[in-house]
Structure 1
């Protein structure tokens, strides 16, 4: 009897990301029968669609049937096709660059220069991406830098989670604080009629707290893995494309390696320039990566047939993560098509007007933390909730700057775990990390960020956090 019990227990395991996300899609379909349909009237101001406060009305129910449930997956794949193909193409092109040995050789030189001090490297990389993101730089291009983090972690004999963490969490610490964020922060402050980039001082302290938590937690985990590789969350396979073999001698750095690295950095710099001066997005990032790959292939004299073979191998290795992105989008499609998304917003936000000042202010933060699982786009979330939050902040007696702070913190923090976030799932796909494994690692950082956000909001509520 005891033996049977042990066998049954061993069969229990964490559900795959596909199972978890499909369960959320199924839950959204069930909710479409339980939550009444409704919608806000929307208006376009300066080319941006916004919700009109007080315009919510009930409409005829349109619950999702069984066919709708499965069609939403196909529509999700179509809606996120640009991200899916970005993942596949980045995976293929990075495999080309890795094939030349340039990344491993370059990182080996970096490790030698720092005498293998992995904690110093993790700290510098995370801090660099945090500062860049706090100024609105990098954006979706963070996906393209993840292979560098993975290669660095591999050469340091760590694991893929550390490679993703130092890039993505460093980036998101700056993104959440949004000290000079020209997109989400500016959009939210414009709706709230606040001076652009105002309230900067408090956001600087938020950034310091968040980036320190990333550096501390990532270095603690790295030390544990360094001392005992079996302590890695990824088990005996620290990287997706090997079986735990990390003792391969990296190639000696050559002139050709240097040229290929300059090509890599040059093209990424070219994209960042275009993103700020020409409003380039994901499609242009894909184009830049293809140009980068062709240039590296030509310089390295990789034959066309060999190029295609390596590219397909790289793309195939991250197909799992690419498809997860499309599945996650199906959740939002179900909610939008059944017209219950606006009902959820209306039923949650409007009652906050009757709450005491401090509780109401904190509840705005909690609402945005949870709503971000449904709408992970910062501008999309701002267009829906900020026009409603502004009058609520006026009614409950908190400053509009505090309302904006509650929004940007809520919008950003849960993006580091939300399976509905296209960017997160793309990053994990490129890094070869399963969402379930990532969740095991990142939850202490998530909790620390929520605590930092709560303390910042309490300070804002007590001091009357104003425009400047």
Structure 2
């Protein structure tokens, strides 16, 4: 009864994520009637299409009608079909690993080796592990690893929300503030004509500091729910198929578990090599997940029909995540149809010219946060806004390194709660965590992370970084 009252008071005010996203799409359509259409000229530099500073012009209005509003949703699915399928592939792979008992035995053995009494240390270690995954592997490439954190959390006495805080929080902080993020820092340095990933030490200090705060935040929540289970935000999330079925002391790795674990690790290594040396992206990652799942099914002595049945069953929980991904992308489709994305970017960056240097750097990050809701692609934002922001920063004596950091902070930290970010919706779906609960959990941390990042921005201006 207490949980029910708490849910009605605090959580049910936030609409279902599908309804929330639809309202955002409708809001974007309404904006096409209010905001004048406009665009920048584009040019191609080193195979990168980017805006030409000072070339903005208002164009003929093209407001989005009812039919375009609803066709934007299937168009969003088409645009994000690779993300949708990698979510399905991840669900199928982990569904099979869970069904065979390999995942449970691996997590149970890990907890037994480390010791349940060190569970707070496990939370800290795993938060940083997922953070480093985000730093070096990326966002979408880590979607498949999220359910492991939930299983681990439940095993040590936590809940699905703690697992989400470890995995989703860690990956998004690592990816968003990564000193080696190719989509934000990499593209930004290319546009700014700077040495690729220069300034990595300052950025590394920022991301490690923020991950440390996230680790403390996760441990604090864990202690709170251990003391009073009524304070759990995941009290009614069904994790019955993610619980360990026996006592920790009885877990050990069978030969086939070891074989499947080796296949899984080998597949991840091949994926990483392909990403860093062969330019692999989402389709290749999804293919690796499928191959791991099929290979592990064969090791478990399943026939083709049994593997297919497990895959089919595993797809059920990820269906909502897939729908959310497509609807999230529909917002950007609507803005593109209405031709107002450039107008928004132009309006926000124009304000910077009238601000003091330190405040302008902070406002760069704030304006980028607003743009990130509308254009959730980091590289997409980079080619739209940085060619405008960099000259403005030069005029205000803000170093290009600081301008890119402001862009990175605005893009990266908003990812933690942006409903239009397909990767976030996919990971929440795999964790079975409702969007409203996630906001309740993560938003206090986001405020702290933003404050830390703004301090870093001010320091970068004061020391003339870069």
**TM score, norm. by length of structure 1:** 0.93
Unaligned runs of 5+ in 1: 1-7
Aligned mates of 1:25, 1:289 — CA distance in 2: 32
Q: CA deviation at 1:26?
A: 0.6
Of the structure 1 ranges 351-360 and 59-68, higher mean CA displacement relative to structure 2 is found in 351-360
Q: What's the counterpart of residue 123 of structure 2?
A: 122
Q: CA deviation at 1:157?
A: 2.8
Q: What's the counterpart of residue 381 of structure 2?
A: 381
Q: What's the counterpart of residue 4 of structure 1?
A: none
Paired residues of 2:108 and 2:244 also in contact (CA < 8 A): no
Of the structure 1 ranges 10-19 and 383-392, higher mean CA displacement relative to structure 2 is found in 10-19
Aligned mates of 1:138, 1:374 — CA distance in 2: 21
Aligned mates of 2:124, 2:132 — CA distance in 1: 12
Write the mapping of 1:4-403 to structure 2, written as runs, cut at 5 A.
13-116=13-116, 117-134=118-135, 136-237=136-237, 239=239, 248-249=246-247, 252-403=252-403
Aligned mates of 1:186, 1:326 — CA distance in 2: 27
Aligned mates of 2:237, 2:347 — CA distance in 1: 46
Q: CA deviation at 1:89?
A: 2.1
Paired residues of 1:349 and 1:388 also in contact (CA < 8 A): yes
Secondary structure of the corresponding residue to residue 354 of structure 1? coil
Aligned mates of 1:195, 1:102 — CA distance in 2: 45
Secondary structure of the corresponding residue to residue 96 of structure 2? helix
Aligned mates of 2:71, 2:183 — CA distance in 1: 32
Aligned mates of 1:183, 1:413 — CA distance in 2: 15
Paired residues of 2:128 and 2:170 also in contact (CA < 8 A): yes
Paired residues of 1:157 and 1:246 also in contact (CA < 8 A): no
Cα separation, partners in 2 of 1:419 and 1:42, compared to 1, 3 Å: same
Query: Cα deviations across residues 188-222 of structure 1 (Å, max 9, x unaligned)?
Result: 11212222222233212211220111101111111
**TM score, norm. by length of structure 2:** 0.93
Aligned mates of 1:245, 1:387 — CA distance in 2: 50
Aligned mates of 1:215, 1:351 — CA distance in 2: 36
Paired residues of 2:11 and 2:436 also in contact (CA < 8 A): no
Q: What's the counterpart of residue 440 of structure 1?
A: 440
Paired residues of 1:158 and 1:238 also in contact (CA < 8 A): no
Query: Cα deviations across residues 131-167 of structure 1 (Å, max 9, x unaligned)?
Result: 3433x33542211211211221122231112222212
Of the structure 1 ranges 203-212 and 93-102, higher mean CA displacement relative to structure 2 is found in 203-212
Q: CA deviation at 1:10?
A: 11
Aligned mates of 2:411, 2:138 — CA distance in 1: 18
Secondary structure of the corresponding residue to residue 420 of structure 2? coil
Cα separation, partners in 2 of 1:9 and 1:119, compared to 1, 3 Å: closer
Secondary structure of the corresponding residue to residue 43 of structure 1? strand
Aligned mates of 1:394, 1:190 — CA distance in 2: 16
Aligned mates of 1:448, 1:73 — CA distance in 2: 34
Q: CA deviation at 1:263?
A: 1.1
Aligned mates of 1:233, 1:95 — CA distance in 2: 24
Query: Cα deviations across residues 298-346 of structure 1 (Å, max 9, x unaligned)?
Result: 1111122222111111101111111101001010000011101111111
Cα separation, partners in 2 of 1:9 and 1:256, compared to 1, 3 Å: closer
Unaligned runs of 5+ in 2: 1-7
Secondary structure of the corresponding residue to residue 49 of structure 1? strand
Paired residues of 2:176 and 2:415 also in contact (CA < 8 A): no
